[in-house]
A and B are shown apart, each in its own frame.
Chain A
């Protein structure tokens, strides 16, 4: 037999007895969760449950969980649990703890162990089922379908995580651990009931203007790349390892991983260089679903074309096509549905209805150009900077009664504004130049004093007197540039360091504020501060009280009602400037629940989980 403490082949009773006493003392200690005090923590993964430091199932000899390695001490073969994350999941630990029988003199015999393992596997998969949603185009509804599936699986009591290997987005957010991920993955994590973290979106590209993007790896700024460098160096040399290690870990710690593709998987000019679609599908052996938006017409052409441009092996991974966004009264699609299957061999699994009035963040700026949010008479104009980022900041504002958020490109569009916001940007210097050239800067200055003007992040930097970028960190712009001079503040870009942190604090009147900072550059201010942050009492933001000009680095600043009320109260003549106190978080959760209910109704989730999705 195998010696359970050493792993080597060894029949000595003495060694086994030692293991048995470890198991008993561990049961007496009870459920302990993460033992962060332990010198070895985290020996498997962050947030691991340490209750079963010694595994009662050892050695399970299950190649899905562990492997034989050569012992450094004896040179013999040892069963290693290093890669096993299963027994350290909270839910698995919990179930096993309840199942544990009395531990005898010699520990648990082989039969008991294998019975226990079988029962445990009945409740928790050792390796996650992987389901991937790909889109025939951008805007096919992938992101929300992934969120819907995550929520539906979570509601079935499964442990779920979303995954997107590579995302290009300017709407990012900062997790509790200071990691930066796309806001949409944060939403999916929320849908899944799992902690948002870099692992869920290990490569995030943030376009900086021109052909350069900042590459964020596992939540941390990694480097700047041009498109050319990204595809010729980063993709072949670095991306595979990054994607594999994060995906593998998620698959070992969840029952289901719902993966999102990026754009279309059939960009045939990028064959072999796309690490966001079929590459991941094959790696995860995922059951794939192709989402097609029916709203623009040509949906069946996109479905058929996408599948037929993939190779045979790739096409076989597809369990079905999802026709998305069907409007009521959209007519019968009968003939078209058959045609898809006849040509591609892949059935249309469902026609999913458009879910109206969802309160969820939008993903990219393409959508932004087509929307004005809210239906009120109080107009809040957000300046539509060319490199606008984090415009999800304004979702909560548009939910206020009587408020309409518009995205203004021209000085004329600022005319009717009752309040102006200069939002975040991926490139402060370039967008400040645009603000001056387009006449927006003087239009904003002309309204100062009459309407409140708020700058957020890059917008805050622009409202100040000056910006120094002596190292050219914002690209090839000037090294020193005049701001709008509406706030007595000066910004320096003096290092590549990026501040990414979640913050909590309060307004002068005590109202709660919550947000996150994502920026390079630091701002020296002489104005009154806007917020006092906890726990360190740091003062944040600038407030020129008489001129009604405000600036802050906090994204998500409108999410809690206090600052919304404070900002809107500065608008004169605002009809009943009452704050409807809508709870942003609750609205989002209820939208996710509605989406989950929609997929439950239209998709056979049981057969999807079994992997025989081919049953319409």
Chain B
């Protein structure tokens, strides 16, 4: 394995806050002088971005690249799935349309090809860097999809990356979501899981104390942060992101600069709410 360090963010559900958490970590590490790069094996989104060399990738990984101060590159997101309706999806592989797949289209041979491509892109993307921040996709414990996994625990195992799990408290049941995800993992996966984060919290954090302590002792790993709910603007990844404000008249200017300013604002608001020292220790 190469010399670069790795950290993976996985979520209890879609929309748990993986993308933002990854982008915030990208921003944090890059501003403290670390040469960091984002990676997400597979993204399902109709919001794509085209790189300087004319390749297509998810806009969320382009956003994370900007957070690292980098030019987006298709190897940061080698598989982009673009739903076309009627159960058909266009698969964009390493920046170029590859083929359309229908329901049941992902045969073992297809998965094998995709996994090879993901690993090649992963190493291309990471080589020469100090740190790769990997974002997972959806929940890592959809048991019926495990043999088709190219973006969660399969990748964590293949790249021996430590994993942090993020859960969204806003819809309730966050303790159950985190604990259940852990229970559905196998031994090897649980070994890679190093901690959890509770996202979108509103109010006085002391109310969660007993719950967090119980979970830490059941899972034998630390809670790395309780992140307050923040409203900010960022490129919309999918339909779950409609809660973001729109058109609030921040005036003209390059939207990307504004996204970065807002991401800095997120980091400010999260100051003290997470244990970045412990996160750094996971990586080293």
CB of B144 within 8 A of CB of A296, answer: no
Which listed segment binds B: A13-21, A177-185, A263-271, A445-453?
A: A263-271
Query: Given A271-B210, A339-B143, A343-B183, are A305 and B243 neighbors across the interface (CB < 8 Å)?
Result: no
Q: Tell me if B176 and A336 are in contact (CB < 8 A).
A: no
Q: How far is the CB of A413 from chain B (nearest CB, A)?
A: 6
* Set of chain A residues within 8 Å of B143, measured between Cβ atoms: 300, 335-336, 339
CB–CB A298/B138 < 8 A: yes
Interface residues of A (CB under 8 A from B): 135-139, 211, 227, 263-264, 266-271, 296-298, 300-306, 308-309, 329, 331-336, 339, 343, 366, 369-370, 409-413
When the two chains form their complex, are residues A412 and B175 in contact, meaning their CB atoms are under 8 A apart?
A: no
B144-A266 in contact (CB<8A): no
Stretch at the interface among B23-31, B110-118, B153-161, B244-252: B244-252
The chain B residue with its CB closest to the CB of A338 is B143
The reply to whether B207 and A305 form a contact with Cβ atoms under 8 Å apart is no
Given A298-B138, A308-B180, A336-B143, CB of A331 within 8 Å of CB of B173:
no
Residues of B in contact, count (CB < 8 Å)? 46
Instruction: Tell me how far the C-beta of B124 lies from the nearest C-beta in chain A, rounded to whole angstroms.
Output: 29
Interface assignment of B101: CB less than 8 Å from any CB of chain A? no
Contact for B173 among A266, A271, A332, CB less than 8 A: A266
1/0 per residue B154-178: CB within 8 Å of A?
Answer: 0000000000000000111101111
Binary per-residue interface labels of chain B (193-218) against chain A in the complex, 1 for a CB within 8 Å, 0 otherwise: 00000000001000111111011000
Contact of A410 with B248 in the complex, beta carbons under 8 Å:
yes
Contact A333:B144 (CB < 8 A) given known A269-B208, A305-B183, A366-B170: yes
Residue of A nearest to B145 (CB): A331
CB <8 Å contact, B103 and A302: no
Contact A268 B177 (CB under 8 A): no
CB distance from B39 to the nearest CB of A (A): 20
- Which of B141, B207, B211 is within 8 Å of A301, CB to CB? B141
* Inter-chain contact A369/B242, CB cutoff 8 Å: yes
The CA of A303 and the CA of B179, in the complex, are separated in Å by 10
Q: Is the CB of A306 within 8 A of B14?
A: no
- Within the complex, what minimum Cβ distance (angstroms) separates A501 from chain B? 34
Q: Are A137 and B209 within 8 A (Cβ)? A: no
Assess A263 versus B243: contact at CB under 8 Å? Given A297-B138, A298-B139, A410-B248. no
Q: Which residues of B contact A409 (CB under 8 A)?
A: 245, 248
5 CB contacts below 8 A, A to B, read: A137-B172, A268-B210, A298-B12, A366-B171, A410-B247
Instruction: Give the residue name and chain of the A residue nearest to B104 (CB).
Output: A331
Q: Which residues of B contact A366 (CB under 8 A)?
A: 170-171
B13 touches A332 (CB 8 A): no
Given contacts A308-B183, A336-B144, A410-B248, contact A301 B177 (CB under 8 A): yes
Name A136's closest neighbour in chain B (CB-CB). Answer: B173
